[in-house]
Amino acid sequence: MSGITGIGTTFNLPNYHGELFALTPDETPFLSAIGGLTGGGQTSSVEFEWQTYDLRDPNQQTRVRVEGATAPGAEGRVRSNVRNVAQIHQEKVSVSYTKQATSGQVTTPSSAPYRGVDGSNPISNELDWQVQQAIKSIALDVNWSFINGKYANPTTNATPRQTRGILEAIVTNKTDKSGVSYTGATSATDTITVTHALSNGDKVVFDNTDVATGIVAGRVYYVVNVSTTVSFKVALTAGGAPITLGTASNIALHRPSTAALAVDDVNTFIQGIYDNGGLNGMPVLLVNSSQKLAITKAYASAYGQAHGLINAGERIAGVAVDRIVTDFGDFGLMLERNMPQDSIAAVTMSQLRPVFLNTPGKGVFFEEALAKTGASDDVQIYGEIGLEYGSERSHGLLKGLKV
C-alpha cells in the first residue's frame, strides 16, 4: 500500500484491528555501523573537509649516509584535502486533530466512510507513530546516499546539495568485470536510445539513471523489445512488460559478467587494495544478496565447504556480520540491501563516519513544530548530513559481477 501526501485524516489513514507488521525492511547496516543518526562528527559549514598524507617509498640506495656527513637537504610531506557536502534531509508530518482523537475508531472491513466502532488499534498516538516512520525513512535515505550518492555541490540554492557516497568516492581500487558498458544513453517513455550490442533477455545494471523514473541504480533489469542496434527497453523480469522511464539523458548502464565469482577474484581484488596501502583497519566487504550467495558458493566450491572459512555471528557496532578468511586477513561480510547486486565494496570502517551540520539551538537532527494553519498538528524532521570516508585508497570496488 502506498503512502499519502498532505495531511493525515480518518479517511486516508484508517485504523485496523490486530497486530501491526512492517512490509518494508528498515535496517540500515552501513549507516548504523559507522555511527547512525546519533553518532559521528559535526560541521559548521555545508561543505566539510578532511586531510590525507603519504610517506615516500622506502629504499636504501638514495638514503645511505657516510660517517661524518652534514645533514641532508630538508624534506617535508605535503598534505592534501578531501571535501564532501552535507545533504539536506527534511520531512513533514501533518495529522488532523480528529485523526489523533479517534485512536479507537477501527475500520473493518476497509471501506468508506471509515467510521467503525471502538476496536483494538495498536497505535495510541498517530502523530508520534508517523514521526517515527519519517525518521526511519530518512535513515534509509541517508544509508542509500552514503553508499550510492552522486556528488553535487551547486553554486546556488536552486539545486540541492548531494553527498558523495562511498562507491563514487572510490577511484584508485576499482575493478570492473562488466561484459560491456554504455554511457550517454537517453530515454523517452519506455525506450532507451544508445548504440548497443545487447540481446533480448540480457541482464543489465544501471550506474546512473539521471531523472528516469521506474528504475533504480544497482538493481538488475532485463533487456526486452530489441529491434535495432540503437534502442531497447528494460523490464523487471525476462520477457516482462517494459518499464516506463520518462525523458532522461546521461544514463549509464552495463551488462554484468557471465562468469561465476571465484575465490581468486576476491583475493586479487583485495590484494590490489592492500598493495595500494588500503584496508588497514576494520576491513569489511559490503554485499547485496547476489554476491553474498556468490561468495559462499565460491568458497564452498574451492575448499569443499564454507564452514571455517565463513563464520557467522559476529557484530560491528551492533550490526551482525559474517567473517571471511582470506590470504590478506579476516574480513567482515556485511549484508547490505542498498549495495548494487553486481558489486562488492571493500571498505575500511575505521575511516568512515557521518558528519552533521549543527543548527544553533536545535542540534544536528531534530523535530520541531510548524506554524498552525488549521485543525492539525504539523511538524518537520530536519538534518543536514554528509559522509566522511577518509582516504579513498583505503577502500575498493569490484563491480560487473555475475548476477
250 and 324 belong to one structural domain = no
271 and 370 belong to one structural domain = yes
Which of the listed residues 255, 277, 302 is the one where a domain comes to its end? 255
The answer to whether position 98 is within a domain reads no
151 and 205 belong to one structural domain = no
157 and 208 belong to one structural domain = no
What would the DSSP string read from start to end of 98-148? Answer: HHHH-TTBB-SS--TT--PPB---S-S-HHHHHHHHHHHHHHHHHHHHHHH
Per-residue pLDDT at 284 = 94
- Per the structure, the complete domain to which residue 326 belongs is given by 21-51+81-91+135-177+258-403
* Whether 249 contacts 210, CB under 8 Å: yes
Q: Residue 274 is placed in which grid cell?
A: 592492500
- Determine the distance from the C-alpha atom of residue 54 to the mean position of all C-alpha atoms in its chain, rounded to a whole number: 29
166 and 205 belong to one structural domain = no
Which CATH number do you get for residue 223? 2.40.30.20
Note the pTM of the prediction, 2 decimals.
0.92
- 194: nearest Cα among 221, 224, 229, 223: 229
Radius of gyration of the chain from its Cα atoms, rounded to whole angstroms: 25
Per-residue pLDDT at 110 = 62
284 and 360 belong to one structural domain = yes
The answer to whether position 140 is within a domain reads yes
Per-residue pLDDT at 61 = 77
169 and 234 belong to one structural domain = no
The answer to whether position 14 is within a domain reads no
Per-residue pLDDT at 255 = 97
The answer to whether position 76 is within a domain reads no
376 and 337 belong to one structural domain = yes
171 and 313 belong to one structural domain = yes
Instruction: Please give the sequence-ordered ranges of beta strands (E in DSSP) within 10-79, or none if there are none.
Output: 41-43, 47-52
318 and 395 belong to one structural domain = yes
The answer to whether position 5 is within a domain reads no
Per-residue pLDDT at 310 = 66
303 and 342 belong to one structural domain = yes
Which of the listed residues 222, 255, 288 is the one where a domain comes to its end? 255
241 and 354 belong to one structural domain = no
Q: For the chain, what is the domain count?
A: 2
The answer to whether position 402 is within a domain reads yes
Residuewise pLDDT in 10s, the chain (403 residues)? 578 999 999 999 988 888 888 999 999 999 999 999 989 999 999 999 999 999 888 888 778 889 999 998 898 999 999 999 999 999 999 999 999 999 988 887 667 777 777 777 899 999 999 999 999 999 999 999 999 999 999 999 999 999 999 999 999 999 999 989 999 999 999 999 999 999 999 999 999 999 998 999 999 999 999 988 999 999 999 999 999 999 999 999 999 999 999 999 999 999 999 999 898 777 999 999 999 999 989 988 887 655 556 666 667 777 777 888 888 888 989 999 999 999 999 999 999 999 999 999 999 999 999 999 999 999 999 999 999 999 999 999 999 999 9
The answer to whether position 99 is within a domain reads no
The answer to whether position 153 is within a domain reads yes
